[in-house]
Chains A and B, each alone.
Chain A
Amino acid sequence: MSDLSDDEADHLLSRGGLGREHKERLLLGILASVPASPAPPPRSRRRWTVVGALSLASAVALVGLWWRPSAQQGSELRAKGASAAVPFIGMSCLGGSVSACPRGSRVAFWLEGGTDQIGFITAYADPVDGGERVWLLTNEPLASSPSTAVESPRVIPKAALLGAAQSGGRYVVQAVLSRSRVARAGLSDLPSIQIVTRARFELVVSP
C-alpha cells in the first residue's frame, strides 16, 4: 500500500483541484518558460522577485531549476559559457532534486547558451541496476521565440512525468539535442552532424 503524496492528498481535500504548493510549482515552470519581455529587469532581480513571491517549497524547486547538479558537470559535451554556440543541457526534478526525485514529479530539461532556435530534445533513462528503458521526452521541440534574441537558460516547455508506477532507484539519463526529429531506435547511431549536443545525468527516483 503506497502513501498519498501531498499533491494527491491536496487534490482530494480540494475536491479535485490542485494544492497551493502544486500551483506554485506550476507557476514557477510557466514563468521559466515564458520568454523575457522586451525590456526585462535584470535577471538576478527577477529571480529574487519570483523567489519572494513563492513558498519555501517553490523556492527549493527554483534553486533546483537554476543550479547545476554536480552530476551534470559530467556532460560529455557542454558549452563553456552561456554565450557559447553549443548549448549546455541541464536537467532538474521539479518535485525534489535529481538525487531524490519523488514519483509523481516532473523532470524538466533546459538549455544554457547556444543560438539555435530550432532543435528537438530526446531523453531517456536507463535503470542502473538493469531494467527497461524509460523514455522521458521524444523529439520535444525547443520553445519558439519570435525575436532573434535567444534567452538563456531556455526551459523545454514539456516536462516528463515520473508515473506512480515508476520503479525507484538510480537511473542514468541521456539527453540529446538534435537538429531534426529522430527515431528512438536510431538514436545511438545518429550521425554527429545531426547532433547539436548531448548530456548524461544521474537521477535517483525516490518512493
Chain B
Amino acid sequence: MVFVGRPDLLRRFRQGESSALEAVYWAYVDQVTRVVQAVMNSYAAASGERLMLQSAELGDLVQEVFVRAFSPACRSHYDGERPYGPYLVQIARNSVADHWRSARREVVLDVAPLLEALSLEMGSAVPARWADQETVAVVERYLGSLPPDIRRVHDALYVRGLSQREAAQILGMGRQAIRGIEAKLRAGVQRELQRTGQMTDEKSPLASPSAVARRASAGSGTR
C-alpha cells in the first residue's frame, strides 16, 4: 500500500533513489520479518525440526529479501498497479527457499499450500514461534511486570518500532532518558533469563541445539 496515491515515490523507487528505497524498507521491514520467520517455521515444521532463528540469521534473511527486491530487475518488474506487499512475499518465499536449500540441500514440497496462503496482510496473525516455550514465558512475565512508564517506552521502541528520537518526541521525554530505559530493558530481560535458568551455556534461549546444528550445516562463517 506504500505506493497508493504516491506516484512520485513509485517513480523514485523505480529509479533506485535511496530515500525512496528507505521509505519502502521502513514500510515493510516488520512484516517481511514476520513472513520470513513464518516461512522458516513452516519448512522446519514440515521437516519435523524444531527451529529457533537467531536474530543475526533472521536479519540476514530479511536483508537478502530486500536486496533482491531492490535490485534493478525486481524494481522494473513491479508494475505499480498491484499491491506491493504480495510481490515482496513472493520474493521472501524464494529467498527463504534458497536459504533452506543451501542449508539442507532440499526443499520440503508439502508446505507449498501453506506458503501460498501466506500474505503480508496476515503476517501479524502468524503464530509467534520465536523462542522455546520457557523463554517466551519468562519474557512475557518480565514484560508484564514492567511499570506503566517503562511499558510505554517498551511499546514505543519494541512494538511500534520507533527510533529513540521518535519515541522521545511522542512520549515527551528526553532522548537520553529513552536510551537509559532501553538499556535497562535489555539488562532486565537478560537478568530474568539468568535468574530462571534460561541462560546457561547448555541452555541458551537463542542457541538451541537445532539452530546450532543448522548453522553448522549452513557453513557460513562457522566451522
Contacts and interface: CB of A to CB of B under 8 A. Distances in A.
Interface of A: 1-20, 22-23, 25-27, 29-31, 33-40, 46, 49-50, 53, 55, 104-107, 132, 134-136, 138, 143, 145-147, 157-166
A7 B158 contact: no
A37 to B, nearest CB: 4
The B interface, classified by DSSP as helix, strand, loop or mixed, is: helix
Interface in B11-45: 15-19, 21-22, 25-26, 29-30, 33-34, 37
B16 A15 contact: no
Contacts of B37: 16
A133 B215 CA distance: 16
B21 A34 contact: yes
A39 B12 CA distance: 11
Contacts of B199: 1, 4
Interface residues of B, number: 65
A35 B34 CA distance: 27
A104 to B, nearest CB: 5
A55 B22 CA distance: 14
Contact of A18 (B58, B143, B200, B206): B58
Contacts, number: 180
B139 A55 contact: no
Given A1-B200, A10-B186, A12-B131, A30 B221 contact: no
Given A4-B186, A161-B220, A12 B139 contact: yes
Contact of B18 (A4, A18, A46): A46
A135 B219 CA distance: 7
A27 B101 CA distance: 25
B193 interface: yes
A1 to B, nearest CB: 6
B59 A2 contact: no
A164 B131 contact: no
Nearest to A4: B190
